[in-house]
Amino acid sequence: MDFADDPAAAEFRAGLRSWLSEHLAEYAHGTGYESAEAVERTHKWHKALAQAGYVAVSLPAEYGGRGLPDSYEGIVNQELAAAEAPPSPPIGHIAHAVVDFASDELKTRVLPGLLGCTQVWCQGFSEPGAGSDLASLTTTATADGDRFVVNGQKIWTSGAMWSRWCLLMARTEPDLPRHRGISMLVVDMESSGVDRREITLASGSREFAEVFFDNVSVPAANLVGERGQGWQIAMHMLAYERGPADMGWVGRLGQVIATAREAVSSGQLTADEALRQRLAAAAVDVEVLQWHVARSLANRGPGSRSEAGSVDKLLTIRIEQNLYHVVNDLAAASFVVGPPTTFANYLWSRAQSIYGGTQQIQRQIVAQRILGLPRD
């Protein structure tokens, strides 16, 4: 399989590199989720990317995208990683849910703010008792005339503290089997009855929150798709959550490898033969992961569900955690007391086993959907 850029992709990549060389310095430092100032700079970076036309490039042009293949999303993430730029906004999967299922009126109302990054969105899926087993969620949306009344709680909601809108999974049909009774709603986070409470991680990040909904009124016009279609939409979103984003993640692991190699070569860090071999093996693993993700992306049809993404996720967990173990052994005490981002990245790598679908869930997908093994 040939992964080389065709002329159009090469031109797109060159244009992005040129834009980054001109604009990145203004936004390269101080982004993140550790403080209000860092969050503000992150949002400015996202707006700059959107204004330049590098956000959600695979969406149709009539909705604010560029109508390009999914592989171009991968190019964006690759080049941002190579330039050591802050990541792009994680909105592609939300945008595709709205574009592919929402009414024309709802699209017209919310897509400009979403794709222009002028209004922040979050995804209200996980609950205290419904993380890995998401279909057991208990948040309800009860139909009441021309509105739904939402009650319940979400947790580990990225960006909820500063989001204007939430794409929410809630149970609208309590008498139906659990997968069929779930619907998807767009909720205004400034509505009466929405209570957001910040969660601070061990790394210092303030990206996550728990959100409580107490008799929150949501217009029926904010229903995405049909009632009871929420689970189908959530599965559709998975096709866009992995793949392009993984290309950027692999690129950032490559930067860790390059930095470690340079530190060893220059004598800044000391490594015996065994540790050098472990670093070399980690570098090979990252290279293999890059090509595996590229193949998964190339084999995926438009809007198709990609179970290969679960293989990519499992590989990423193992490879990233192993890499940071090697870096930890290389850097010794300076790993903890050195630059805060280094240790924060290590802590984040440990969370890879849980967020975005646990290892157990990913293995179930591989076993049942790829290998065809029985559920029991």
Catalytic residue numbers read 241
The phi, psi pair for 222, rounded to 5°, reads -90, 10
Which of 230, 212, 210, 221 shows the shortest CA–CA distance to 151?
A: 212
Amino acid at site 135: A
CB neighbours of residue 224 within 10 Å: 23
- Cα distance between residue 38 and residue 48, in whole Å: 15
Report the chain's C-alpha Rg in angstroms: 21
The phi, psi pair for 212, rounded to 5°, reads -110, 135
- Cα distance between residue 245 and residue 238, in whole Å: 11
- Cα distance between residue 206 and residue 225, in whole Å: 32
Amino acid at site 349: S
Return the DSSP state at 339: -
- Cα distance between residue 52 and residue 347, in whole Å: 33
The phi, psi pair for 292, rounded to 5°, reads -65, -45
Q: Please check whether residue 139 is in contact with residue 153, taking contact to mean a CB–CB distance below 8 angstroms.
A: yes
The phi, psi pair for 297, rounded to 5°, reads -70, -40
**Residue 218, strand partner residues:** 148
- Cα distance between residue 356 and residue 350, in whole Å: 13
Which of 226, 232, 236 shows the shortest CA–CA distance to 143?
A: 226
**Residue 185, strand partner residues:** 168, 223
Convert 43-70 to b/e letters by CB count within 10 Å (16 or more is b).
bebbbbbbeeebbbbbbeeebbbeebeb
